[in-house]
Chains A and B, each alone.
Chain A
Amino acid sequence: MITTDRTDIMKKLLLLFLIAYLVYPIQAQSDPKIKRNKFFAGKEGFKEAWKCVKKGNEFYKNGKGYYQDARQSYLEAYNYNPLVPELNYKLGICYLYTDDKFQAIEYLRSAYNLKPGVTKDILFYVGRAYHQVLNFDSAIVSYQNYLARLPNKEKARAKAEIDKLIQECYDGKKLVQNPIRVIISGLGDRINSEYDDYGPVLAPNDSLLYFTSRRPSGKKAERNPYDNKYYEDIYVARRQGSGWTDVKPLGKPVNTRHNDAVVGMTPSGDALFIYRGKIGGGDILQAWHRHKKDKFTSPFQVNEKFLSKYRETSICLSSDSTEVYFVSDNPSKSQGGKDIFMSTTRKKGTDRWKKPVNLGPVINTPYDEEGVYITPDGKNLYFSSKGHNTMGGYDVFRSIRLDDGSWSTPENLGYPINTPDDELFYRPDGLNPKYAYYSTVREGGRGGKDIFRIVFLGEEKELVLASDTDLFAWKQAFPPKAFPRIPDFLGIDSTLVITGKVTDAATGKGVMARIEFIDAGASKTAATAVSDTSGNYRASLPAKTKYGVEIMAKDYLFFLEMVNLAEDTSDVLFVRNFALTKVEVGTKVVLRNIFFETGKATLKPESYAELSNVLKFMEDNPSIRLEISGHTDNVGSRRVNQKLSEDRARAVVDYLVSKGIDRSRLESKGYADTQPVATNDTSEGRALNRRVEFKVIGK
């Protein structure tokens, strides 16, 4: 039995009194009267609806344990007329205190909207309903409005509790804004039932799960009149893979007719700790496990140091059994409500324990603490508390044992592990710290409290998309085009070789001469060659075409002839021989390319090339004297032709003189048609007869 000194007791009693005073007990829900006339007597279904109202009222007035039944009846009446504010209020209350509390807000808000003064506490419960569905801002407003509308006397009494609820909302907002990454899933239909299931206790190797359930354990199962639920019994389940199987109640002597709840286990797994409540108190018992029979002994009270006349509700031994942590509402050294106490053994391995001490204000609060658990390494203390920064009801907290043995400020395990409802009996998985178990009421549960497994996820991870990034496309252009552009054609070297001999026409001997090949088309010199003393020459011509060949040699008349290589079948090599006429007195040369304007003695410019040859010949042979003679055909009068031929001969002489030839070396004569070289009967003949000649008259 835990003992305390008188002073402590007095202090604690005072504190409890203060809390009791400050916390206005807003527990009993109003019972507004649903008026019969709201149900439109006479309308079809009225009788049934009203009957349901009355039935619901019967359940409702019996308290929370009967709200589930009341709700059923009220819902039937609601179907008949959903616009009755009192009915909406009661339905809201029923929902708020049963499994589907998340639906309460719909009805309570309707009740308020239909009739803001439906009850004095409507805004309080609207706040509670908002609180439950995490609508903290609306909850705060509702709480504040509720408080503001209370008469001053009641306001003063209610303020502490409302402030606490508002603080829970602020804390809840923070926690919900920073959710932790967990998966919370029910342990399955074998463990969880439509009744309350809670208090998971794992055997040391995690092969067995003990838990408390308020499901009916048999046909003769009895309900606790206090809350209309079946009495607690302890169940055990065996792990099978990732699930649990073979769920069964422990039976006698552990389970009794009344409440039996499992609250812990020895580190070795040899004994269960069991809580048995009783009016005004409750104690922790211990039952040894007999391995041979696989049965538990009759439960017996744990060490008296852990017990009091008050209520001890949960207990946990350290892994080396040198420390014990337990929860008690013993006001001695209490911070208020249920607190966590701790004791150590006087000697390891014995059942001799020191006087328990309250873990102090760092852990314990003026509100209730519950469900204490120390991890096997002794470093982490998990417990549930209605104080600290709870977001409502019991939240689970963790405190770390610091190096000096003190405990760190408890840290709320966060949302969504904790909710505005009660989260209790948190137990980390002994084999994998990533898992933990606890009991709470969550949306999607089987009904009532359920046992859930928490999976702690690591940091948030971003899924990685996979794409085929062909960032470069050059392979589409590979191998490269062999011919990105068409190569240029080669210019074909069409050079011709012309060779031959320049000889004296009379003797056939070679003559050294200068030979010029003139491209007839382009009127420019294409090549120049010089024959050797034997008269041999060679020249390269660019194309197979028509050339004028001009040959100059000293003491020889200049030579001019057309050579048409295009008509030759040779491809590269052409042979052409040229015979030159030696200059002798009396030698005549027809100047074929001397042209005059028709009927006149005016030289045409195209005559100059031929005249320049004559000029050059005279320059090359400075002693030569020439007679320039003009000739006509026989067309026209002799007199006219005579004058024309003389004039034309004189024009040539004048040209040569103008180019620097001494006039004394030149004579001009006109022969009209007297010296024809061809017939005058044809135009071709007449063309040949129309000519200018020179004759060597001195050398």
Chain B
Amino acid sequence: MNRLLGCILVLFFLAAGELAAQTVSADPVSKLRNQRNYAQAYNQAIEAIKAGDYSQAAVFLDKALEYSANAPEALLQRAKIFLAYQDYDASLQDVETILKNKPETGEAWYLKGILWMMRDSVPQALQCLNEAIRRNYTTEEAFFYRGVLKNLQGEYNGAIYDFTMAIDKNPNHAMAFHERASVRRLVKDLQGALYDYRMAVGLDSTFLAAYNNMGQLKMILGDFQGAVDDFSRTIRLDPANNQAYNNRGQAFYLMGDYPKAVEDFYAAVVIDSAYAAAWNNLGNAYAKMEKYEEATNYYTKALQIDSGFAVAWLNRGFVNELLGKLENACSDWNKALSLGRMEAGKYVKECK
């Protein structure tokens, strides 16, 4: 009896399966064959991606999508290839198709967020990355870029949390350490920032920005020699890095070693003669050495390069004052004030 019942049940399920298969496709064998072809094309695309041959991968994905037009995996990979080729519109089109049919696809939300980021639409991008993470796309890059977006939105604590999550996902994420360091610097957690910069350069000994920023942080912390060392490391890694020369010059300047500061500021402008900040700093170093006429010339040089360089106007005003040229000083401070250097306001008041 049991056996009979078992047979009946088996027959029932087989019949039901057949019926269900007939609902989807009149020809289950064709369906199966399609699925198989789709998967084969998709896997070929992945092989091509693995080999870095994105154009070939795109061909395979197109083929895969011929077998299964809205297949989310293929659409997602093709959207990424479009992203790689900077065809953001096409990429977004594929992503939107995925989300229309399968809105729970976290990675599609992530990709959409990145595409919004490419368009500088920070709030929309942030919203998409929030969705991605809510839908369990909790990869290091999702947290990292959400951290970036939160930072851009001024949500510093949220950014620190996300960079921390990215680091949890990938403890070798030098960039996440660097970005967390910089946000910590903004929220005045200077020691925390220093730790993170150190981690960043420890993980990536060629990380120029990390050396530069760590040097600048050390200057803030008063560790000028440490800053000099960091900038020197940057210069060794990239001898044409004018910013590093300018920064090291500042460290020497703050140590009171004006001749060395001058050497570095000169190097910075030799590398880039249009580097207004270095011309300005050269002026400062000369002013500190009481060579006011030379200092004025360097500020003027900076202002010829960038007439909107408020700091140079301000400084030239200081030096003009020290030269006893109060009218010129006042004129410079007025200009600096008009360019947004609010502290120039009190100096302008002194002119009256």
Contact = CB atoms under 8 A, between A and B. Distances in A.
Contacts of A514: 7
A458 interface: yes
Contacts of A461: 318, 321, 347
Nearest to B173: A477
B182 interface: yes
B182 A487 contact: no
Contacts of A469: 213, 216
Interface in A454-509: 455, 457-459, 461, 463-474, 476-484, 486-495, 497
A497 B32 contact: yes
A459 B326 contact: no
B321 A467 contact: no
Contacts of A470: 209, 212-213, 243
B300 interface: no
Contact of B185 (A458, A471, A489): A471
Q: Which of A461, A466, A490, A493 has its CB near the most chain B CB atoms (within 10 A)?
A: A466
B247 to A, nearest CB: 6
Contact of B151 (A466, A472, A486, A571): A472
A592 B207 CA distance: 73
Interface in B322-352: 322-324, 326, 346-347, 350-351
Q: Which of A457, A474, A494 has its CB near the most chain B CB atoms (within 10 A)?
A: A474
A571 B33 CA distance: 8
B40 interface: yes
Contacts of B148: 472, 474
A486 B175 CA distance: 21
B178 A473 contact: yes
A482 B54 CA distance: 10
B175 A466 contact: no
Given A490-B39, A573-B29, A477 B284 contact: no
Interface stretch (B75-83, B92-100, B232-240): B75-83
B179 A497 contact: no
B46 interface: yes
A608 B253 CA distance: 93
Contact of A484 (B141, B209, B254): B141
A453 interface: yes
Given A458-B350, A473-B210, A464 B175 contact: no
B311 A464 contact: yes
Nearest to A494: B36
B114 A491 contact: no
A479 B118 contact: yes
B167 interface: no
B315 interface: yes
A183 interface: yes
Contact of A463 (B18, B140, B182, B315): B315
Interface in A237-282: none
A538 interface: yes
B194 interface: no
A339 to B, nearest CB: 34
A482 B81 contact: yes
A484 B73 contact: no
A480 B114 contact: yes
A486 to B, nearest CB: 5
A473 B28 contact: no
Interface in A80-122: none
Nearest to B163: A474
Contacts of B209: 470, 473, 476
Interface string B172-192: 000100110010011000000
Nearest to B140: A484
Q: Which of B151, B314, B324 has its CB near the most chain A CB atoms (within 10 A)?
A: B324
A572 B32 contact: yes
A458 B311 contact: no
Contacts of B65: none
A432 B326 contact: yes
B175 A477 contact: yes
A482 B82 CA distance: 9
Interface size class of B (residues with CB under 8 A): 35 or more
A434 interface: yes
Contacts of B29: 497, 572-573
A530 interface: yes
Interface size class of A (residues with CB under 8 A): 35 or more
Nearest to A552: B3
Contacts of A489: 42-43, 46
B33 A466 contact: no
A333 B29 CA distance: 131
Contacts of B140: 484
Nearest to A477: B175
Nearest to B325: A242
A494 B7 CA distance: 27
Interface string A525-541: 00011101000001000
B10 A530 contact: yes
Contacts of B207: 473
B108 interface: no
A468 B243 contact: yes
A185 interface: yes
A492 B36 contact: yes
A572 B318 contact: no
Nearest to A468: B243
Contacts of A463: 284, 287-288, 315, 318
B160 interface: no
Contacts of B280: 465-466
A458 B321 contact: yes
Contact of B39 (A434, A458, A491, A572): A491
B51 to A, nearest CB: 10
Nearest to B42: A490
B219 to A, nearest CB: 9
Nearest to A453: B324
A471 B184 CA distance: 11
B16 interface: no
Nearest to A455: B324
B145 interface: yes
A620 to B, nearest CB: 8
A533 B347 CA distance: 106
A418 B280 CA distance: 35
Contacts of A538: 14, 18
Contacts of B318: 461, 463
A564 to B, nearest CB: 21
A468 B315 contact: no
B281 interface: yes
B138 interface: no
Nearest to A471: B182
B314 A183 contact: no
Given A469-B216, A484-B141, A572-B33, A474 B175 contact: yes
B164 interface: no
A528 B7 CA distance: 10
B246 A467 contact: yes
B94 to A, nearest CB: 12
Given A473-B210, A481-B141, 16 more contacts: A183-B324, A461-B321, A464-B311, A467-B243, A468-B243, A469-B216, A472-B148, A473-B182, A476-B175, A480-B141, A484-B139, A486-B50, A514-B7, A530-B10, A572-B29, A572-B36
Interface of B: 7, 10-11, 14, 18, 28-29, 32-33, 35-36, 38-40, 42-43, 46, 49-50, 54, 73, 76-77, 80-81, 83-84, 86, 114, 117-118, 139-141, 144-145, 148, 151, 175, 178-179, 182, 185-186, 207, 209-210, 212-213, 216, 243, 246-247, 250, 253-254, 276-278, 280-281, 284, 287-288, 302, 309, 311-312, 314-315, 318, 321-324, 326, 346-347, 350-351
10 contacts: A453-B324, A457-B322, A466-B276, A468-B243, A472-B182, A477-B175, A480-B145, A483-B84, A571-B33, A572-B32
Q: Which 10 A-B pairs have the closest CB atoms?
A: A458-B350, A482-B84, A466-B277, A473-B209, A455-B324, A482-B80, A490-B39, A492-B39, A471-B182, A463-B284
